[in-house]
Amino acid sequence: MNIDELQFEKLDFKDVKTLATWAQQEGWNVGPHDAEVYFKTDPDGFYGFHHNDELIAGGSIVSYNGEFGFMGFFIVKPEYRAHGIGRKLWYKRRDTLRSRLHKNAAIGMDGVLAMQPFYQKGGFEIAFRDVRYEKKGTAFEIDQHISSIEESDFQNILKYDELCFGFSRPQFLKPWLQLPLNKTFKYVENGELKGFAIVRKATNGYKVCPLFADNFEVAEALYQACLNSVNGELLYIDIPMSNSAAKALIKKYEATYVFECARMYLGNPPKVDIHKVFGITTFELG
């Protein structure tokens, strides 16, 4: 196979579902309905290579209204690895995403340890380590300030999410909140939203995605609600190690280290209140 003859093509929903299946087989612990939300977020944000009409590699290059881009879901079918296909696809994805964004817009991604030097050569710089931890769900008495997120809460949730993500992403957040089997929590005090958390079903157990909160006390109450909602099941959370309060929370609850990535940016990092970020949303779309 001549990799120079491979056609770089936009992927359809069927292809994105295939990427999700591959990711599941690789142990990425994706959710059963992630592909649907990812594709809704940006139907023009997935590209890859086909060979003889077979998808052999792909990934996301999602644009958030041209203001910010995110690369993820990057995977090459095992039998086609070690031929330079991944390298070629990564650079084509990076350059295509840049062309889809406004001038000087940044691109984010989460890079595994082994690939970080390669991504750095491609212009990305490490902003912080993000580490996955697991803990088995446990029964807790829920704080009186916590309740489920309702449809009428969406605008307030969206504004809070923007503080922690850096950009408004209603096209992602609305279907994300409505995923089947989701558990959602908001912390409201004196009529003011102080934080929120989402728990979604994954291939193995459940994932917190995200946990955003004003401070340690609010984050702890939300984390307890998350653990309580999956009593006896494994619960995963990906924390930014630059948030000392998030590290303290994980230490207090004796969660177990699983693996880590690094949040990396090409261009100026988004302006976010990292001290509110106790659990990031995804490694695939930010």
> Tens digit of pLDDT for each residue in 111-124?
999 999 999 999 99
Same fold, 3-125 and 131-279: yes
Q: What is the mean pLDDT of the chain?
A: 96
Letter for the amino acid at 80? Y
Domain boundaries, the chain: 3-125, 131-279
Q: Structure tokens of 19?
A: 């990427």
**Contacts of residue 165, Cβ cutoff 8 Å, sequence gap at least 6:** 270, 272, 281, 286
DSSP 230-253: TBTSEEEEEEETT-HHHHHHHHHT
Spatial separation of the C-alpha atoms in residues 35 and 41, rounded to whole Å: 10
The answer to whether the peptide bond before residue 210 is cis (omega within 30 degrees of 0) is yes
**Residue 137 DSSP class:** B
CA–chain centroid gap for 25, Å, is 18
**Contacts of residue 125, Cβ cutoff 8 Å, sequence gap at least 6:** 264, 265, 266
Letter for the amino acid at 86? G
Q: Structure tokens of 266?
A: 């090409």
Report the pLDDT averaged over residues 186-200. 98
Lowest pLDDT segment from 46-55, 135-144, 145-154, 207-216: 46-55
According to CATH, the topology of domain 131-279 is Aminopeptidase (3.40.630)
pTM of the shown model: 0.96
Class (C level, CATH) for 3-125 = alpha beta
**Contacts of residue 145, Cβ cutoff 8 Å, sequence gap at least 6:** 187, 188, 189, 194, 221
